[in-house]
Each structure stands twice: as structure tokens, then as C-alpha cells.
């Protein structure tokens, strides 16, 4: 424990953000880090609660949060950095995009504001990079075993790094032209600037991980080739099948999946595309985002930066409560109202609404038609009922579908390998091993669309399972 009674002495200090009027004109990150003495006080709030639920129940990676806080409090940054990397390959990424389930599970959060865990993580890892403490850690002994990792999102990268450090020869195949998965093409730069990924990739390359981009496994490379050339395979292909909206008028060309829209802007930021496509920009348009989650919020922030005239975000679920509801008591992750930085930049949020159809002119959508709905609990679960007389029509120049993802793409590799899938379409695994013993899987491919922190945890777990399997063979 850092400072006895520190939690009584100091309050939580939130991280600042660049002013809205400044940040909406660029795609740079928003957060303004706290100063070192402020961080020390924040670490001092960690109260040695005995059973640290932040670590045991909150953080999927089980970061040793109380130990890390104590080291920061004692100014032992280098050790704090080592502790952080014992469980997390990419703390600089979770420190930026993690929703921090550790904080909602913090014991202090029962009666007070939780410890500022995510931002302490940010400070440690950025301090470590600036001091040059984060260096390649190549394996001292090679095993001669070859592992292919399919997909370079956080799950694939974590698996690749762990496997390379265990001495295996690792090749990461990525069908996109750049490495990073959703980190690169989905998450906007204002949450995660892409040089942050590149900085870490240098470490992976120096540790011996080979990257082959622009290679779609199952298309450009066959299962036969994989089997012949590699001892094992780790599938980390994400959950890329988007949930669609099968209503009349869906076919208009300016109704886009959120990922296509966000990827286009990320490519533009990375100068991989030279010009804004008129179809893909929100400039001077009324934008309707369908889906009230994080992807929808990212669309809101992107549309605002592109110069949208007006932005609506529609969600079919009812408006969540402001404070923790009884059905998700501490330390569980509560369904509460969350207002993101993108929402603060200007957007009208509608709750409990259902989209019924789209109308338009020639190839372009012009209106979204919907109605209000009510959720009613019946014996066989929640049912949705349309409320008569609540029909509405919203003018729209661009509609973005951000209703989540169903599962991994089955066509190609998953089918060719004949892998067993569950009712939701995810690849079934037992200790990360699929129904094909030499094939392992991790990340959204097995969990369904989830979080970066879970993808990293799952990739690490798969690496341990593969390493064990290779050693036993
Ligand atoms: C817009 C958006 C914003 C998000 N924001 C957050 C956030 O703020 N915080 C958070 O925690 N999570 C966020 N997420 C979720 C998070 O990004 C994912 O849960 C995470 O990236 C999943 O990691 P993964 O490695 O399993 O898959 P992915 O990141 O999806 O990576 C899979 C990779 O596999 C590649 N691939 C697929 N098939 C093949 C093939 N046959 N051959 C070669 N390569 C292939 C894909 O091109 C892709 O690069 C967000 C998701 C989206 C879409
Ligand atoms: S990775 Fe996420 S859940 Fe884990 S300590 Fe960091 S912010 Fe918390």
C-alpha cells in the first residue's frame, strides 16, 4: 500500500480533454495527461482493500493493480512498467481504449469514486517508452516449431508476441495491407493514434515475428499449405460479420456499415486514400447513426470531424439509468448511461426507437422512418412492442449501421477447416483448441465481438495452449 488513508485525503481527479471547439477540427487524441505529482496522489488512493476486485474480478488480464499503484506511489516507475507487462502485452493500447471494468470493480467505488487505474496505466507505459525501457525481448532459445497466426488484431498480436518469446517461429498473416485489425481500421485516431501501434510493432518485429500483409488465408493461401508449412495455427480473425437491418429501402447506396465508413476515414488519416469519397463523408449532411453503442459513438465523433450538419444516434434499447441499477451490483459491469467524448461534441441521442423503413430518391436515402418501442418482461424473456401513434420520419443524407457484429466470417477458412461452431456462430474451443487439434483460436473469433482487453487476454491464453501442445507433441 502506498499511503495509508490516501483514499480519505485525496479525491479522484479526472483526465482532461482538449476543448471541443479545438478537437473537432482534427483527428488527434483527446486526452490531456495528468502531471506526475497528480498521478502519485491518484495512486495513493489505492487502499489495500484485502481482496482487490479490480484485479480478481474487473480486469480480464488480471493486471496486478494494487502492486502497480504502490510502485507508482513510491516512484518506482520502471518496476511498475515490468509489473504491467507481466500480464499485458500492450498497456499503451488498453490505457487508451479500455472501458476499464477494473474501475467499476474497484472497492473504493462502493462508497466513493474509483482509483484512476486506466490513466495510471497510461502514465506508466508512456513514461517507460520515453525512458527507452521498452525494448525487444527476443527468445534465448529457438524451438524450431513454426506457428501461423491468422489476423493481426490485438488477439493475434498478443499471441504472436508470446509465441515468439517462447522461441517459436511465428508468421502473422493479415489480409489488410496494414497490421492492427480493428485497432488500425475500426477505432478512430481520436481514440488511438496509429503511431502507437507502429511503435509496438517494431518491438514484435525485433523479437522475430514475421508479418505478411495483403494475404487472405483461405483465399491466397490454402489450408493444405498451412498444414504443410506450420506445426500449428492460431485463428484470430475477429468477428467481422456485421449485423444488418433487413427493412424496406435498405439497398440505398448511402446506407453504410459503420466499419466501411470508419475504415475509410482511418485510411484517409493514414494517407492510404488520397481523397474523401463523396459517399463516405458526412460533410454538410444530416447523419443518422443506427446503434447506440461504442461503434456508433465512434461514427458520431467521425461525422462531427467531417463537418456533419446534424447527427442523430438511434438506439432500440431503453435509456439506461444514470446510476448503477440493482441487477448489476458492484463489482459487476453496470448498464448505465455513458456519455462519450464524441457525444459531448454534439449529437442527438434517441432511445427506445425502432427503424421501420428507409425512403429516398433514385439511389439515395432521404428519410428514416421509425417508431417508439417499449420493452416488456414476459415469462419467456423481454419482448418489444411498438407504441401506436409514435411514428416519426427523420431526414437523412447518410445512414450508418452500427448495430454490432454477429460472428467470425465463416466463408473461406472456418468452412475449409470444417471447424465446429456454437449457436451464435463463434468457433468452439476447449482451452483455445478447436475441433481440429492443430488449430487454435482466440479473440473475437471465439468470444464474439468484445473488447481489446479481452482479445489480448485470449491471445495470451492461446499462446500458452499452443506452446503446451507443441511441447507435448
Ligand atoms: C469501431 C470500433 C471501435 C471499437 N472500440 C473499442 C474500444 O474503444 N475499446 C475496446 O476495448 N474495444 C473496442 N472495439 C472492439 C475491439 O476492437 C475488438 O474487440 C478487438 O479488436 C478484437 O480483436 P481480434 O484480434 O479478435 O480481432 P480484430 O481486431 O477484428 O482483427 C482481426 C484481423 O484478422 C484479419 N483477418 C480476418 N480474416 C482473415 C484471413 N482469412 N486472412 C488473414 N487475415 C484475416 C482482419 O483483417 C483483421 O485485421 C471496437 C470495435 C470497433 C469495430
Ligand atoms: S487493461 Fe483495462 S481493465 Fe485491465 S487494468 Fe487496464 S484499464 Fe483496467
Distance 331 CA to ligand 1 centre (A): 27
What average pLDDT does the segment 59-83 reach? 97
Distance 106 CA to ligand 2 centre (A): 11
Whether pLDDT at 273 is above 70? no
Distance 123 CA to ligand 2 centre (A): 13
What average pLDDT does the segment 412-417 reach? 94
Q: Whose CA is nearest to atom 1 of ligand 2?
A: 94
What average pLDDT does the segment 348-375 reach? 97
Ligand 1 pocket test, candidate residues 216, 237, 243, 333, most atoms within 8 A of CB: 237
Q: What is the chain's mean pLDDT, rounded? A: 95
Q: What pLDDT band is residue 113 in, cutting at 50, 70 and 90?
A: very high
Distance 153 CA to ligand 1 centre (A): 5
What average pLDDT does the segment 20-35 reach? 96
| pLDDT reported for residue 306 | 96
Q: Whose CA is nearest to atom 3 of ligand 2?
A: 59
Whether pLDDT at 189 is above 90? yes
Q: Which DSSP helix (H) or strand (E) runs through 454? A: helix 452-472
| 320, HSE (Cβ side, Cα atoms, 13 Å) | 16
Given the DSSP bridges, would you call strands 398-401 and 255-257 parallel, antiparallel or unpaired? parallel
pLDDT per position as a tens digit, 157-167: 999 999 999 99
Ligand that lies nearest to the alpha carbon of residue 183, given by its number in the listed order: 1
Question: Which contacts (CB < 8 Å, 24+ apart) does range 428-437 have?
Answer: 431/465, 432/458, 432/461, 432/462, 432/465, 432/466, 433/465, 433/469, 434/235, 437/469
Ligand that lies nearest to the alpha carbon of residue 452, given by its number in the listed order: 1
Ligand 2 pocket test, candidate residues 43, 57, 453, 457, most atoms within 8 A of CB: 453
CB of 444 sitting under 6 A from ligand 1: yes
103 CA: nearest ligand 2 atom = 8
Q: Whose CA is nearest to atom 7 of ligand 1?
A: 97
Whether pLDDT at 104 is above 70? yes
Ligand that lies nearest to the alpha carbon of residue 400, given by its number in the listed order: 1
CB of 182 sitting under 6 A from ligand 1: yes
pLDDT per position as a tens digit, 420-452: 999 999 999 999 999 999 999 999 999 999 999
CB of 100 sitting under 6 A from ligand 2: yes
Percentage of the chain exceeding pLDDT 70: 99
Cis amide bond preceding 270, omega within 30? no
| pLDDT reported for residue 274 | 67
> In sequence order, what are the beta bridge partners of 207?
none
pLDDT per position as a tens digit, 229-270: 999 999 999 999 999 999 999 999 999 999 999 999 999 999
CB of 355 sitting under 6 A from ligand 1: no
Q: d(Cα 331, Cα 101) in Å, to the nearest integer?
A: 9
> In sequence order, what are the beta bridge partners of 440?
234, 433
* Contact assessment for residue 160 and residue 173, using Cβ atoms and an 8 Å cutoff: no
| 86, HSE (Cβ side, Cα atoms, 13 Å) | 12
Amino acid at each position: 500500500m502506498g499511503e495509508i488513508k490516501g483514499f480519505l485525503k485525496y479525491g479522484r481527479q479526472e483526465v482532461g480533454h482538449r476543448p471541443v471547439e479545438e478537437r473537432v477540427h482534427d483527428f488527434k487524441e483527446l486526452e490531456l495527461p495528468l502531471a506526475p505529482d497528480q498521478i502519485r496522489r491518484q495512486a495513493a488512493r489505492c487502499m489495500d482493500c484485502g481482496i482487490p476486485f479490480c484485479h480478481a474480478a474487473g480486469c480480464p488480464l488480471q493486471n496486478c493493480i494494487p502492486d502497480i499503484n504502490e510502485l507508482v506511489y513510491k516512484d518506482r516507475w520502471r518496476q511498475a512498467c515490468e509489473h504491467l507487462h507481466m500480464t499485458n502485452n500492450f498497456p499503451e493500447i488498453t490505457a487508451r481504449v479500455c472501458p476499464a471494468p477494473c474501475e467499476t470493480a474497484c472497492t473504493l467505488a462502493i462508497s466513493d469514486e474509483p482509483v484512476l487505474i486506466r490513466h495510471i496505466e497510461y502514465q506508466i507505459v508512456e513514461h517507460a517508452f520515453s525512458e527507452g525501457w521498452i525494448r525487444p525481448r527476443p527468445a534465448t532459445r529457438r524451438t524450431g516449431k513454426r506457428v501461423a497466426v491468422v489476423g493481426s488484431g490485438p488477439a493475434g498480436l498478443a499471441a504472436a508476441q508470446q509465441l515468439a518469446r517462447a522461441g517459436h517461429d511465428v508468421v502473422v498473416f493479415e489480409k489488410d495491407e496494414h497490421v492492427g485489425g480493428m485497432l488500425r481500421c475500426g477505432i478512430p485516431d481520436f481514440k488511438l493514434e496509429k503511431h502507437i501501434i507502429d511503435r509496438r510493432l517494431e518491438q514484435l518485429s525485433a523479437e522475430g515475428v514475421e508479418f505478411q500483409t495483403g494475404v487472405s488465408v483461405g483465399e491466397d493461401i490454402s489450408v493444405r499449405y498451412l498444414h504443410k508449412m506450420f506445426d500449428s495455427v492460431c485463428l484470430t480473425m475477429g468477428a467481422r460479420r456485421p449485423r444488418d437491418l433487413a427493412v424496406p429501402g435498405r439497398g440505398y447506396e448511402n446506407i453504410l456499415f459503420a466499419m466501411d465508413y470508419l475504415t475509410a476515414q482511418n485510411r484517409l488519416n493514414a494517407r492510404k486514400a488520397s481523397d474523401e469519397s463523396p459517399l463516405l463523408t458526412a460533410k454538410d449532411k444530416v447523419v443518422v447513426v443506427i446503434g447506440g453503442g461504442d461503434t456508433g459513438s465512434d461514427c458520431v465523433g467521425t461525422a462531427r470531424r467531417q463537418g456533419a450538419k446534424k447527427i442523430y444516434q438511434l438506439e432500440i434499447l431503453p435509456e439506461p439509468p444514470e446510476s448503477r441499477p440493482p441487477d448489476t451490483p458492484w463489482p459487476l459491469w453496470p448498464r448505465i448511461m455513458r456519455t462519450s467524448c464524441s457525444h459531448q461534441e454534439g449529437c442527438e441521442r434517441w432511445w427506445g426507437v425502432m427503424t421501420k423503413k428507409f425512403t429516398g430518391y433514385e439511389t439515395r436515402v432521404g428519410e428514416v422512418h421509425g417508431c417508439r418501442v417499449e420493452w416488456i418482461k414476459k415469462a419467456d424473456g423481454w419482448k418489444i412492442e411498438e407504441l401506436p401513434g409514435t411514428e416519426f420520419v427523420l431526414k437523412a443524407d447518410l445512414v450508418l449501421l452500427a448495430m454490432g457484429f454477429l460472428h467470425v466470417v465463416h466463408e473461406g477458412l472456418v468452412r475449409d477447416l470444417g471447424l465446429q461452431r456454437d449457436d451464435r456462430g463463434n468457433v468452439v474451443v476447449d482451452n483455445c483448441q478447436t475441433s481440429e487439434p492443430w488449430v487454435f483460436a482466440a479473440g473475437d473469433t471465439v468470444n464474439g465481438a468484445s473488447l481489446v482487453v479481452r482479445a489480448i487476454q485470449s491471445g495470451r491464453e492461446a499462446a500458452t495452449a499452443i506452446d503446451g501442445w507443441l511441447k507435448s507433441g
